[in-house]
Structure 1
């Protein structure tokens, strides 16, 4: 297990360096263009050249990335070019908001998808057909449409939850929970439908295996066959889909936070990209990479624990 963990962590570090290096080379390749966005279109050529030198954009991109990576190792991601606020402070203020949406959504997706997928595979009938329809609808309907429908139904019409805004858990824990219900639901609806379908298919495949028939022929209770053997062997494909849902959710959070006016990473990513605040963009990219890697490593470890053969693959 230790070798498995070390391998996963090392591959995550390599992937982080690769993705951030490619992103850095892409967004920092045009020094004069970046300087002009910071100064405004009315800036003179002399002002642009001075800003390029001030920001260090006249240096080779590889050297700039090396300095950024060195700062990362020391917990320094630079400062916003427009507000002067350290990027680490920007992340510290917004990461908790986004994590409060992503983590419950992923945990609920994993639990509900396993329950619904197993039930649909075992019982079939109307439940199975309903899962097929909702899975297709969940994949086709954009997050912002789901979010708008939830706001219209549960906030505007029924007035059960606030339509927009965020309440700090320190100020009002109950208000904080209420402000997150609809955003979590907006991300949960599509992710559960897709992941449950994968669990269903994986369970059906495992049920056709010879070892399942052998277990049943030995008189082992059906509940034990399903939960101790079938679900454990079917966990891999279902969890793999959950990894992909994490990537989709990271993109969906940008829309969800915009609809519900939540001051999280999605809003920061969108605004900094439109403004051209490159240090903030790099901080947002780093956050997204870390979340995806942590979730993927956690899922791989969970699958490896459920199915030891996965650790050898």
Structure 2
């Protein structure tokens, strides 16, 4: 199992370099000039040229990327052009919000999706059609529409949960949890539908296997067959779905955080893009990439736990 993890980590290094290069190149095409934005319209041309030289904006894009890459390899991701705050410090402040959304959304989607999938696989055609309908709606309805609907119902009409804002866990665990309910639900809807459908199909295939029939013939109870044997048998596709769902939620937090005004990496990268704050955009892009790599590693580890053959490959 360890060689597989080491091989995945080795492959992640060129991935990080490719992501950083593409992000740097794309950001260079975004309209706007950070030097002009920082100085305002009343600055002289001399001041403008001096700031461009200080920020290395007067150099070619390749040269700018080379300077950034050299600093990144030494653990220096630069500072924000507008707040003069170290990028790593800024990411460290905003990352817990995004992680709470991603982990909470994946956990909720996984719990509800697996329960719904198992229910539909064991309760007949009507429940299966219901899952198909839920999957279709969950995949078709955009997250921002679901988020606005949740705000209108549970924050405005009934005033159960706050519509916007974020309270750190250390300040008030109750308010922290309350403020994350609507964002997590809005983020997880599509994942619930996806996981439910995959679980249902995998469970139906597993329940039709010969060893499951043998367990029934031996008098093993239905609940034991479903939860101890069949669910473990369809673990690989379900784990794969969990990983794909979690990876999808990582960029999905950008929209959710902006709808609910949460101070996470999503709102940070949007503001940085509007301001042409390249070091912050780069830092967030690399952080998202690292999160995807970590999720893939976790999926590989779970593969090894569920299927011992994977450990010897």
Shift of 1:60: 5.4
Map of 1:257 onto structure 2: 257
Residue-pair matches, total: 313
Which runs of 5 or more structure 1 residues have no equivalent in the other structure? none
Deviations 1:263-303 (A, max 9, x none): 11111111111221111111110121111111121122112
TM-superposed CA distance for 1:95, in Å, is 0.9
Answer whether contact 1:28 1:57 (CA < 8 A) is retained: no
Q: Deviations over 1:243-263 (max 9, x none)?
A: 332333223212211121111
Q: Residues 120 and 31 from structure 1, CA distance in 2 versus in 1: closer, same or farther, beyond 3 angstroms?
A: closer
CA distance in 2, matches of 1:38, 1:285: 23
CA shift in 2, pair 1:146/1:16, >3 Å = same
Does 2:106 align with 1:131?
Answer: no
RMSD: 2.8
Moved more, 53-62 or 111-120: 53-62
Are the counterparts in 2 of residues 114 and 199 from structure 1 also a CA contact under 8 Å? yes
CA distance in 2 between partners of 1:33 and 1:178 (Å): 40
Residues 118-160 of structure 1 show CA distances to partners (whole Å, capped at 9, x for unaligned) of 2222323332222111111111111111111111111112221
For 1:158, the equivalent position in structure 2 comes to 158
> Contact (CA 8 Å) 1:32, 1:49: kept in 2 or not?
no
Deviation per residue, 1:11-48 (Å, 9 max, x gap):
22332222222222332479995655655677676555
> Who is 1:92 aligned against?
92
Matched, 1:83 2:79: no
Cα displacement (A) at 1:304: 2.0
* TM value normalised by structure 2: 0.87
Is 1:38–1:276's contact at 8 Å kept on the other side of the alignment? no
Equivalent positions of 1:205-284 (< 5 A) are 205-213=205-213, 222-223=222-223, 225-284=225-284
Counterpart for residue 185 of structure 1: 185
Q: Is the CA contact 1:206–1:212 (under 8 Å) kept in the aligned structure 2? A: yes
- Per-residue deviation at 1:70? 3.9
Aligned residue for 1:291? 291
Distance 1:2 1:46 in 2: 57
> Equivalents in 2 of 1:253, 1:89: separation in Å?
20
- The alpha carbon displacement at 1:56 in A equals 2.2
Distance in 2 of aligned mates of 1:165 and 1:304: 40
- Larger relative contact order, structure 1 or 2 (CA cutoff 8 Å, min sep 6): 2
Aligned counterpart, 1:113: 113
Q: Secondary structure at the match of 2:138?
A: helix
TM-score relative to the length of structure 1: 0.87
The separation in 2 between residues aligned to 1:261 and 1:30, in whole angstroms, is 24
1:19–1:123: structure 2 CA closer, same or farther, 3 Å change rule? same
Question: Residue 144 of structure 2 aligns with which residue?
Answer: 144
Between 1:39-48 and 1:271-280, the stretch displaced more is 39-48
Q: Within 2, Cα distance between the matches of 1:260 and 1:32?
A: 27
Look up the match of 1:173. Answer: 173
Structure 1 CA distance for aligned equivalents of residues 41 and 130 of structure 2? 55
Deviation at 1:68, TM superposition (A): 2.7
SS at match of 2:234: helix
Pairwise CA distance, 1:74: 4.0
Q: CA deviation at 1:99?
A: 1.2
Alpha-carbon spacing, 1:211–1:26, altered in 2? closer, same or farther (3 Å): same
Matches within 5 A, 1:189-200: 189-200=189-200
